[in-house]
Amino acid sequence: RPCSTRVAQDGINKPVIDRIIRVDHAGEYGANRIYAGQMAVLGRSSVGPVIQQMWNQEKDHLKKFNELMVAYRVRPTVLLPFWNVAGFVLGAGSALLGKKGAMACTVAVEESISEHYNNQIRTLIEEDPEKYKELLQVIKQFRDDEQEHHDIGLEHDAETPAYSVLKTTIQLGCKAAIFLSERI
């Protein structure tokens, strides 16, 4: 008996959609863990409400990708337990460097994710923009939210003295996480 939340699978490029939804779910899960780590350290500081606001949006993103995983019948990455720990450690670790460290982490991650979402938007448009209209709308909205988080990070002094090294390191980790979560 069909589930009412399922999407018709006819004519979709299942491998492409599976990869997109799997990796985006993992990314939003990781983002939630990063913000949880930052809040554990900086939640009662002056930047706590800013982090909480961004985290609330990430919670909404994760909820939507949980729904899409059911609708498209996509399994999660087997790496979720690792991203659970790694995300929290990255969030808490960057927050232990202070507000600037946490915001530098936010900028680095959100810049990587915005770029990643842009690549997915291009892929879906090349595939069939009408067929993937709903998914495109979701990804475009979330990309815009991530770009807003990036800008908030810059507004809150993300550019620390070691910013470029921290940013590069975090972005390499993001690229590796994206690569692995798409496939595993």
What residues are designated binding site? 28, 58, 61, 110, 146, 149
Residue 160, Cβ neighbours under 10 Å: how many?
Answer: 17
Q: What one-character DSSP code corresponds to residue 12?
A: -
Binding residues for Fe cation: 28, 58, 61, 110, 146, 149
DSSP string, 50-70: HHHHHHHHHHHHHHHHHHHHH
Q: What one-character DSSP code corresponds to residue 45?
A: S
DSSP string, 29-43: HHHHHHHHHHHHHHT
Residue 163, Cβ neighbours under 10 Å: how many?
Answer: 17
